[in-house]
Chains A and B, each alone.
Chain A
């Protein structure tokens, strides 16, 4: 049995998001925790997982201890099946080859919309954030897993700006906007795993992480949460998962 203090917040985040992937899937992974979690899944339960990177990589097989600093670096291509243009790999999302999109997030709302562009009014922003990258394309065209830190300022009722669409304003608003496919599947934080209910498409707590109470999750969330009737408690990270993860990120780039 591993005690909660035996792993960092980013480690449990990475392990739990890795568990959301299934063997045989094609996953489009962003840099940081998503890249690491997809690689962890590939090295543990899902040897047949195919990882895509927006730099133009199909079938990535990232080397332990040599994590790429972005998804556009040569390290992403090591032992991959194919390299191709960035537009070409993104177009595979549009064609429908990608089962799961997997991203980090800076700010999310109750409908799973993500903001990585602006804090404040876009015309006179308080903070100009980096922007979408491939995030908007991935979330527009695939089912999404989002891994992010759980803080009240990051879990808000309404994002300042929809960079990467979730269910927009809920219900069928996503499809009506011209996005008939994809949408939020899971959000994973160091506190809980979230899914989205079928009607209004609002975020709901599917499982609590070990040692986390309903009150704690609600208190650190800026909107009213729905709790699943069959609320589960997550299995803590196993020795094997943690050991593999620490081997992959031996430089502690993304799990410190």
Chain B
């Protein structure tokens, strides 16, 4: 690897000081938000597996035909297929990359990694979290006690084994991860970017603070008064956020806590199509569902009203008791 894995502290501070952190409205369209992501950028992706995936933003980046993105996420599901298969991303930092436990291996990932078209850097799940944590803390690394003794570590010379200066015990230092851009989907936020997250938060708070810029997509934009009525629900402060896009069903066909569960018929049809042909099947899927529709709403129409409503009914049942 040529570039330094961890940016020097002064550079990190300077990058942050150049941002406009003022209290201002940041509402933009998906297309405008996509223009904030430069080719070659490092992109942190919020949510995990099939949960709160910022799918609409990924969809917009594919439509904008980005190049050479280097992405990081706690756990990657079919979002990774779309990123690799569309050719916009050729490097993924994560702990697990498959379609899901129900469907197993990702043939799209296998094709790209086994043919040397893309890299998948594997870290343990906690290591990914501690890399974002170090990034959020403004320190160059965090010490952890896993990965030691494994071949996962042998693949990662970026991580450094040390003897603890206090106890002499072996520890592993994992380098800070400060993505240039983070993509995070939330249930609600205001126009300034004060974001409230219901349910599982995954690594999103560390990711938002670690990143140089944050693009929020949200199920709905609410007033600042409404945010202030429940400040304990606010998980990401506005000054971390650079763009706010209101995208209902912005995780489809994945789930958004309390709003909708995964759209399983669509997922199953997708898996059948790409497992049959990981190149042609994926290209056909991209043509029909990503490049084809005029808007995110039209994409949702292709998934189908019946399936969207069913996912919504199941999603809201988390609150039934």
CB distance from A206 to the nearest CB of B (A): 25
The verdict on A131 contacting B95 (CB below 8 Å), with A86-B203, A161-B151, A178-B170 known, is: yes
B110 touches which of A72, A87, A128, A134 (Cβ 8 Å): A128
Counting CB contacts under 8 A, is A140 at the interface? yes
Q: Is the CB of B151 within 8 A of A132?
A: no
A130–B114 CB distance below 8 A: no
Q: Mark A77-100, 1 if CB is under 8 A from B, else 0.
A: 111000111110011011000000
Please report the C-alpha to C-alpha distance between residue A137 and residue B152 in the assembled complex, in whole angstroms.
11
Establish whether residues A117 and B202, one from each chain, have CB atoms under 8 Å apart when the complex forms: no
Interface window among B60-68, B119-127, B272-280, B285-293: B119-127
Report whether B145 and A86 are in contact in the complex, using a CB–CB cutoff of 8 Å: no
Most buried by A among B106, B146, B172: B146
Is the CB of B176 closer than 8 A to any CB of chain A? no
B255 near A74 (CB under 8 angstroms)?
Answer: yes
Interface residue A32 (Cβ < 8 Å from any Cβ of B): yes
Judging by beta carbons under 8 Å apart, are A55 and B200 in contact?
yes
A55→B150 contact, CB < 8 A: no
- Size of the B side of the interface (Cβ < 8 Å), in residues, is 62
- Interface majority SS (helix, strand, loop, mixed), chain A: loop
Interface 1/0s, chain B 53-87, versus A by CB < 8 A? 00000000000000000000011010000000000
For chain B residues 211-237, which have a beta carbon within 8 Å of chain A? none
Q: Chain B residues near A69: list those with CB within 8 A.
A: 50, 100-102, 262
Find out whether the CB atom of B75 lies under 8 angstroms from the CB atom of A168. no
Contact A141 B318, beta carbon cutoff 8 Å: no
A54 at the interface (CB under 8 A from B): yes
Most chain A beta-carbon neighbours within 10 Å: one of B113, B147, B161 = B147
**B92–chain A nearest beta-carbon distance, Å:** 10
* Given A90-B125, A117-B151, A178-B172, A133 contacting B199 (CB threshold 8 A): no
Determine whether B6 belongs to the interface, using a CB cutoff of 8 Å to chain A. Answer: no
| In the complex, chain B residues whose CB is within 8 Å of the CB of A90 | 125-126, 129
Q: Is the CB of B148 within 8 A of A178?
A: yes
Chain A interface residue number, banded:
35 or more
Residues in A neighbouring B201, C-beta threshold 8 A: 56, 83-85
Other-chain residue from B106, B202, B258 in contact with A86 (beta carbon distance below 8 A): B202
Report if B3 contacts A (CB, 8 A): no
A130, B145: Cβ atoms closer than 8 Å = no
Across the interface, which residues of A come within 8 angstroms of B145, CB to CB?
Answer: 94, 140-141, 178-179
- B150 in contact with A136 (CB, 8 Å): yes
Chain A residues with CB under 8 Å of B146's CB are: 93-94, 136-137, 140-141
Residues of A within 8 A of B262 (CB): 69, 73
Contact yes or no, A140 B125, CB < 8 A: no
Contact in complex: A32, B101 (CB < 8 Å): yes
B151 touches A163 (CB 8 A): yes
Q: Is residue B315 contacting chain A, with contact meaning CB distance below 8 A?
A: yes
Further pairs besides A91-B126, A125-B114: 16, Cβ < 8 Å = A56-B201, A69-B100, A72-B200, A74-B255, A74-B257, A74-B318, A84-B201, A90-B125, A117-B152, A122-B151, A125-B113, A131-B97, A135-B124, A136-B147, A178-B169, A178-B171
| CB<8 Å pairs between A and B, sample of 19 | A57-B200, A72-B48, A72-B75, A73-B261, A84-B201, A85-B205, A90-B125, A126-B114, A130-B96, A130-B98, A132-B122, A132-B152, A133-B125, A136-B146, A140-B149, A140-B150, A178-B148, A178-B170, A253-B102
List residues of chain B with CB under 8 Å of any chain A CB: 48-51, 74-75, 77, 94-98, 100-102, 105-106, 109-110, 113-114, 120, 122-127, 129-130, 132-133, 144-152, 155, 161, 169-172, 199-203, 205-206, 255, 257-258, 261-262, 315, 318, 321
Give 9 closest A-B pairs by Cβ, nearest first.
A177-B149, A87-B129, A178-B170, A178-B148, A130-B98, A133-B96, A140-B146, A90-B126, A136-B124
